[in-house]
Amino acid sequence: MSQPVRFCCPKCRGELLAGGRGPGAQELGRTFVGATGSRPLAPSIIPDPTSEPAKPPAILPAASDSVLCCRHCAIEFPVAQGAPNFTGEDSFYEGKWAETDFTEGGLRNFLVKKERFFVRHTRGLRGTVLDLGCGGGWKLYTQIGPVVGLDLSLSSLLRARRIYAQVARATLTELPFEDATFDCVVSCDVLGHVEMGDKSRTFAEIYRVLKPGGRTIHYVEIESRDPLMRFARGYPELYRKYIIDPDGHVGMEDVPGTIRRFRDLGLRPIEEKAVYRGLTYAGRLVKYFDNEYREKSTPVSALASVSKALCSSKALEAAANLGIAGLIEVGDIFFPSDWAGGLLACYEKRQEVL
């Protein structure tokens, strides 16, 4: 049976204690027991020569609220309903994308291009997995091994915990894990939400926690240069109001810039593919353009009307999206890469040379 992953202080990666720094504080270098069972927390990577010998592991009552404290820097982190909280609450993301995806490589995954990519690249992998921005979790990843889910939404994490071994609230710029902890690091529709000023640190953290020889697999949102998006950006206020702000896509870059971030870390490319070139699904077109954009262009207004009609029933929308999925496959062959709305990326961390 696999050992649980060790959490540590995201600030200094020091050892975590249960119960704060008072007389009742207990060392947690061995085990933290939360709502889903025992989970070890990392020993300090900065030894304290004045410290006393280790005490027996502290046991937190299941599903209780508690506090973890870093032995080195004394920062305290609350534990809510068994989920350590290494960052503050985020009202924007709380409750968003909280549904659990129980699919494990079936027909629907085959029909959705980005899901098919993850099915293909996770097949045969074994080890521990870190799911960044996990939402409610995806059961597909559990075929690899124990999964740790990170998100900013507590309600999402509580749902993800139904299928994941461990969950925690944390930012991508300060991952609460030791170096080389995971065999696989994944994200889907997440890295486009990272502020530009936080990009370099986020990518460096992904590299840091990935084991040598490990795989990192992502679907990254891209700032498309297709004709429709170029039109949309011609109205900056509307673009932010209807395309950027609703989902928090504040950090989208072009394809070459995104690829460069991965490669600059020294990761070995397994596959890099610009996808969704100039085409997207009906519901997203309604979301983006069934608004003041209609007044700016007759063709765009007509596109929004047709898309809205296609979304008038779930059955009709599903049929329309099936047809659009086929067109996407063709468009990804013939349309230019700078029309892409996403990047499918899989890399391997090179083995250390002794």
d(CA 182, CA 127): 7
- Nearest-angstrom CA–CA distance, 82 and 66: 8
Distance between CA 124 and CA 81 in Å, rounded?
A: 33
- Cα(281)–Cα(310) distance, rounded to whole angstroms? 10
Amino acid 319: pLDDT: 95
- CA 350-165-193 angle, to 5 degrees, is 60
pLDDT for residue 34? 34
Burial 234-244, CB ≥16 within 10 A → b, else e: eeeebbeebbb
What pLDDT, on a 0 to 100 scale, did the predictor assign at position 62? 36
Q: According to the model, what pLDDT value does residue 53 have?
A: 39
- CA 143 to each of CA 102, 122, 127, 173, 180: distance values in angstroms, whole numbers, following the listed order: 12, 8, 9, 27, 21
Report the pLDDT value the prediction gives residue 1, as an integer from 0 to 100: 56
Q: Listing from the earlier edge strand, what are the strands of the sheet with 26-27? A: 26-27, 16-18, 66-70, 76-80, 83-84
Q: Which domains does the chain have, with CATH numbers?
A: 1-82 (no CATH), 107-278+335-348 (3.40.50.150)
Token pair of 351 as six digits: 């083995």
Q: Which long-range contacts (CB under 8 A, 24 or more apart) does 102-111 make?
A: 102/139, 102/163, 103/138, 103/139, 103/140, 104/139, 104/140, 104/143, 105/140, 105/143, 109/140, 111/322, 111/325
Q: What is the pLDDT of residue 21?
A: 52
pTM over 0.85: yes
C-beta of residue 60 within 8 angstroms of C-beta of residue 79:
yes
Tell me the pairing of strands 182-188 and 210-221. parallel
What pLDDT, in 10s, does the model give residues 36-84? 333 333 333 233 334 443 333 333 333 346 898 999 999 999 998 889 9
pLDDT of residue 45: 29
The residues facing 151 across adjacent strands are: 169
What residues have CB less than 8 Å from 334, skipping those under 6 apart?
A: none
pLDDT at 181: 97
Regions of the chain where pLDDT drops below 70: 1-2, 20-65, 353-354
Give yes or no for a contact between 31 and 40, defined as CB atoms under 8 angstroms apart: yes
Q: What are the residue ranges of helices labelled H in the chain?
A: 107-111, 113-122, 154-160, 199-209, 227-233, 236-239, 255-264, 282-289, 298-310, 314-334
* Separation of alpha carbons 249 and 244, rounded Å: 5
